[in-house]
Amino acid sequence: MFLLVLVGAVVNVPYVLLSPGPVFNTLGTDEGNELIAITGTKIFKTTGELNMTTVSETGGPDEGISFLQGIFALLNNENEVIPREEIYPPGETAEDNYIQGAEEFSLSQSDAIAAAMGYLKKPLRQDVAVTSVKHKVPAHNKLKAGDHIRLIDGVVMKTPKQVVSVIRSSPIGTVFKFEVMRGAKKVVVKIKSGAYPDDPSTKVDETKIPFIGIGVDMIYSADFTIDFELDDVGGPSAGTMFALGIIDKLTPGSLTGGKVIAGTGTITPTGKVGPIGGIAHKLVGAKRAGATLFLAPKANCDEVKGQIPAGLTVVPVSTISQAVNAIKDFNKGIKLPSCSVYITSGYSQ
């Protein structure tokens, strides 16, 4: 018997364990740092909480979980055990996943700024920027995520597509001169392109495609400084709550009315709220943190049926304006549309 337990504890199976993760108040601090730090303009006092929710994951694309972890997880209805291939494509490594998650998280912050500035009708700036840098590539230790690309070989870069075109239209081994803005500092670096690593899963011979190993996208910023301070969180699903946090800090009065409000959802630069994964786990995490209102992407409504904890109102939203109005109406006691029914009380809202 002891041997069976020992084997179960050390033998991994190709599954991933998902469970409710921590929540982070976008109006508050984490490890002494403001999650959203705004300087260079007037900000207003806030109360209550606007919590972004997360999902904790055990297993990842490389390790999997132990057999015993899977068995014990299934005994807790707040956990979910799913085959690894449902989340990770074949061949993806933990490093690949980390880089992608960090890039998505960075872009969600940029898009949140754009959505908030659009809602507040404030000026918005756009720049072509580095969103990620892979390891052991030509650009490693030369460019950094967040660098704003101004020039390549003296030519002004106006779109991400233009950057890709410049790199790929020159032979492998070409040396490019990048001029970027790293914060307020101008940085000039030279990067020699390499051959794209061989990928047997593709039908294209990518080894003949020049590359330097960066992700590039449009980055949005305000006329003042908005910094985000949150480590070890990845993915795009915090965008909506980041946008709401910015809006609350830049408008008089308290949007929350002192209440604990949570939510999730991707955000586009124009303020559209998009679907995310793991919403059932996020509902549990929100309730544990004391939330009474949860803002859910409308496209996720079908997934929350039968999953809503008692005492938590879940309201579907499709835009940042709808999200703001839902919070205001909730504070006024106005009846709101709801995604589903309470699992424990059995009646429709």
- Range with the lowest mean pLDDT among 15-24, 82-91, 169-178, 339-348? 339-348
Q: Which residues of 263-287 are buried (b: 16+ CB within 10 A; e: fewer)?
A: bbbbbbbebbbbbbebbbbbbbbbb
**Quick one: angle between helices 239-249 and 94-120, nearest 10?**
40
pTM recorded for the entire structure: 0.82
Q: What is the CA radius of gyration of the chain?
A: 22
pLDDT digits (tens, 9 = 90+) for 123-159: 999 999 998 888 889 999 999 888 999 999 999 999 9
Angle formed by the axes of helices 94-120 and 320-332, nearest 10°: 70
Dist. CA 345–CA 349, nearest whole Å: 10
161's tokens: 């597509």
Q: How confident is the model at residue 339 (pLDDT cuts 50, 70, 90)?
A: confident
Q: Which two tokens stand for residue 105?
A: 């998280």
Pairing relationship of beta strands 260-263 and 49-58 according to DSSP bridges: parallel
Closest to 48 measured CA to CA, from 28, 75, 20: 28
User: Which CATH homologous superfamily contains domain 125-221?
Assistant: PDZ domain (2.30.42.10)
Q: Where are the alpha helices (DSSP H) in 217-278?
A: 239-249
Domain 12-92+225-332 has CATH 3.30.230: yes
Q: Which of 30-39, 87-96, 337-346 has the lowest mean pLDDT?
A: 337-346
Q: Give ranges for CATH 3.30.230 in the chain.
A: 12-92+225-332
pLDDT band at 290, cuts 50/70/90? very high
Closest CA relative to residue 288, chosen from 317, 256, 310: 310
Q: What is the mean pLDDT of the chain?
A: 84
Banded model confidence at residue 198, pLDDT cuts 50, 70, 90:
low
Amino acid at 271: G
Tokens representing 77?
């209805």
Give span(s): CATH 2.30.42.10, the chain: 125-221
